[in-house]
Chains A and B, each alone.
Chain A
Amino acid sequence: MPVQSPISSVNDFVVRFANVNGSGSASANELFARAILRHGVPVSPRNIFPSNIQGLPTWYEVRVTEAGHLGARGGVDMMVAMNPQTWDKDVASIEPGGYLFYDSTKPMPTSKFRADINVIGVPLTAITNSTYTDPRQRQLFKNIIYLGAMCALLDMDPKIVEQLIAEQYKGKEKLLSSNVHALHLGRDWALQNLKCPVGLRVKKSDKVGDRIFMEGNSAAALGAVYGGATVCAWYPITPSSSVAEAFTSHCKKLRHDPETGKAKYAIVQGEDELASIGIVIGASWNGARAFTATSGPGISLMTEFIGLSYFAEIPAVIMNIQRAGPSTGMPTRTQQCDIIACAYASHGDTKHVLLFPEDPAEAFEFAAQSFDLADRLQTMIFLMLDLDIGMNHRLCRPLKWDDARQYDRGKVMTAEMLDEPGRDFGRYLDVDGDGIPYRTYPGTHPTKGSFFTRGTSRDRYARYSEEGAIYADNMQRLVRKFETAQDMVPRPLQANAAKPTKYGVIYFGSTAPAMDEAIGLLEARGHQLDRLRIRAFPFHSSVASFIADHDFVYVVEQNRDGQLRQLIVNENGIDPVRLVPILHYDGTPITARFIANAIGDHQDHLKVTPLRKAVS
């Protein structure tokens, strides 16, 4: 008997499935998460998987959260321990009073259990082997059988799961019926042999509303479709490959000419990242909207072309789905560690525009917007996702589009404009004083508007020049253009604490849901914080104002060196003392508990001394 009383909770708990990569568990586990959603209860699932095709441990965690917290919580209330390799670690991670679900076909020594948890054994292998003879069927249906047992243990409506299976296997009646059969095998066994339900229960609710359940990579790819991207060149790399794959899939459904059936897009799997970004730059130079998707190592390879994009002022979009670096790092683990690498990519003096969406809905919006920004600013735009957004399903608001919206192609001079009396075309002339020159597409005019694009220095008329003053003039204009970008990119969003406070917190991207929840936990500890979610670089002036308005500000990010903090210090002339780094970088998604503990402990132990205002 456990010393600890069993955890009892309705619609607020964490279930983690421990499986072996390649065992076919992913679809069953996702089915579990979707079934809870169909109960009207929000979920926040996460894949935790190795850089391996088959055989290594993999986990799928489902946070059931009626309150709608979409960050990872930390801790496990019920462990479905299907991987002997990780048994000890999995058992150790269960919260006191939590539940261990395991395959009890073979007896386990008592030393393999904990006294303070509740053990639920189901002879999954025995049930499976007595029903199926085919080894693959045994493996696959074992997953559905444990899903059936979970339905009974958590008091889930089996009809909802059946409906989901029906949707999944629409038109494949044989698969549908066999999956439903396996579901009931597990459920019936549990109902007959176990005390159901346990303390954790799923009760129907109405907290999901009209929200959608989507992966960030797919949302970003759809944003590219809506944003008018016609050329995609890419090279496979985790965790970004599914962006290009989703773009292909979306285009196949949405982008064929109804009369001819021909494609209104071109997708090329490049031979490497260098070729991919080269194709993107060539296409953008020639007036198409083009993008690539990659991750940190890909950014490293692309930096030469990124510099060309900056200096030659060619629009382009890179969707960077970040993973843990440096080098190969942890390819399947999440981080926000390419901030500096992207902000200043390439040699010489460069600055690039970065966008930081917080969830799939914003990934869709920012992806579409990135093509307008690239065209308007004639520069590289980085859409900065990470694995936690990109490869996990997130509950988010429905995607929206305004049908009246037209693509903003920026300053493109047409043949008619070139023919206007008195019109002077110089590729790098700052006609409007905003640092953004006019460009022409190749083939525009028989005698006017052509120019030579190059990565070497040139004058305002695109004529090669190594004159120092001409070079400096050009570099200053590029700075001016970057300043113009401040008011074009998405602004930071500020939310103030319930009570006046001297402290603030800055965060961005996939940290947002955990941060939102952490604020509540901190309030419960008596700490009030104003918060600012940064959504783009260059930083809007409100970032410096926010820091100036507080004695000090925490900067929460998922990397070792506080890269966003560095960027703020560097770009805004902030005294580093004013910015307290809160850093999480073990490759797992940041949790509300981590943030609340880190900030709370700092606040608790802080001997606050007046700090000078240091914004220059």
Chain B
Amino acid sequence: MTYIAKPKFHHPGLPKNELGYTHRDYEGKISTLCAGCGHDSITASIIEACYELSIEPHRVAKISGIGCSSKTPDYFLGNSHGFNSVHGRMPSVLTGANLANRDLIYLGVSGDGDSASIGFGQFAHSIRRAVNMTYIVENNGVYGLTKGQFSATADRGSKSKKGVMNTDNAIDLVAIALQLGASFVARSFSGDKNQLVPLIAAAIRHKGASFIDVISPCIAFNNHAGSTKSFDYVREHNDAVNRLDVLTGRDPITVDYAPGTVQVVEQHDGTRLALRKIDADYDANDRLAAMTFLQKHAAKGQVVTGLLYVDPDSEDLHTHLDTVETPLNTLEAKDLCPGTSALEKINASLR
């Protein structure tokens, strides 16, 4: 995080979205991450996705834990409230925030240390509770802020910058998210903005637990030969299952009419998710197939990216709790307090 604010000057010729906002309106403070950090690319993709969706920045709550990735919410949506909570506990804080006001958009940003180690439990339980959120893990397989220790997503056999071999098995957060019942599961690569931006946009539109694992090489500690989270490794082993655009029900925001078949998924809010299939056999509505597909490719050393699974009939925690449509944080005494008459009855029942 930084106290260096970007200049407020906007070039009058900058393109504007439906709300009249420019990209600058979606930016935050200047990043203090290492130059070339994959996390900054993800930040740029988040900004792009929010711009394209014409989201009001202040209607987003951005919540993170602790670590390099968790610093990033300071670098986008400067007019949004952010919350840099404690290590690994972003999911619970986000869950509470979501319960308080179901009308905001919740963006949870986490890291592999944050979500796969100390916060593994909170990651799992927020997914299984179907909290309506976009949960992005900026996954670099290493602890950057404490200078280079392996994280729980580091592959077995991969080497650290100091040449130490990792002998522990890796946790695949995508596989876990699928197993836990996430209704939107994707993986992407920080260096593939064309894929990542629409994925983030679709995840934001999705009602329920949306999970995106973004491989984001750490250029300081994990971008060398022997690392499976390096730029070169991911580029060489990336296998994209599909490409997608997000259509809002009005005009398409992103236009990419590359050839291929299209699978349209109707979303709860009326928007449609258009999947451009590359692999003719891939069905993004089949959770079981997605799990098998993932494991098969992992065994080959391939990093599968794209939208792996989406449930068109998804629900969220508020649906399960059957809460009122009005945000709970706006209810007042007249809405909440049963008053003296009810209390008199309670008193009478206790005698």
Contact = CB atoms under 8 A, between A and B. Distances in A.
Interface of A: 37, 208, 210-214, 222, 225-226, 228, 230-231, 233, 254-255, 257, 260-268, 270-272, 274-288, 290, 304-305, 308, 398-403, 405-407, 440-447, 450-456, 459, 463-465
Given A255-B338, A279-B95, A447-B58, 4 more contacts: A212-B347, A282-B92, A285-B100, A403-B337
Contacts of A267: 321
Interface in B106-157: 121-122, 124-125, 129
A276 B92 CA distance: 7
Nearest to A406: B333
**Best-surrounded residue of A222, A260, A403, A454 (most CB of chain B within 10 A):** A454
B327 to A, nearest CB: 8
A226 B85 contact: no
B97 interface: yes
A375 B159 CA distance: 50
A268 B351 contact: no
Interface string B309-351: 0000000011001111100111111011111101100110011
B257 interface: no
Interface in B8-25: none
B268 interface: no
B350 A231 contact: no
A282 B93 contact: yes
B1 interface: yes
A278 B118 CA distance: 14
Contacts of A407: 332-333
A399 B86 contact: no
A441 B339 CA distance: 27
B61 A447 contact: no
Interface stretch (B75-83, B168-176, B272-280): B75-83
Contacts of A287: 100-101, 329-330
A278 B85 contact: yes
Contact of A453 (B56, B84, B350): B84
B61 A442 contact: yes
B89 interface: yes
Given A254-B342, A281-B96, A264 B3 contact: no
Contacts of A398: 347
Interface in B58-108: 58-59, 61, 63, 73-74, 78-86, 89, 91-101, 103-104
Contact of B96 (A283, A406, A445, A452): A283
Contacts of B98: 282
B337 A401 contact: yes
A83 to B, nearest CB: 30
Given A262-B325, A452-B84, A455-B86, A282 B101 contact: no
B86 A305 contact: yes
Given A272-B121, A274-B92, A401-B340, A288 B329 contact: yes
B3 A443 contact: no
Nearest to B101: A286
Contacts of A400: 340, 343
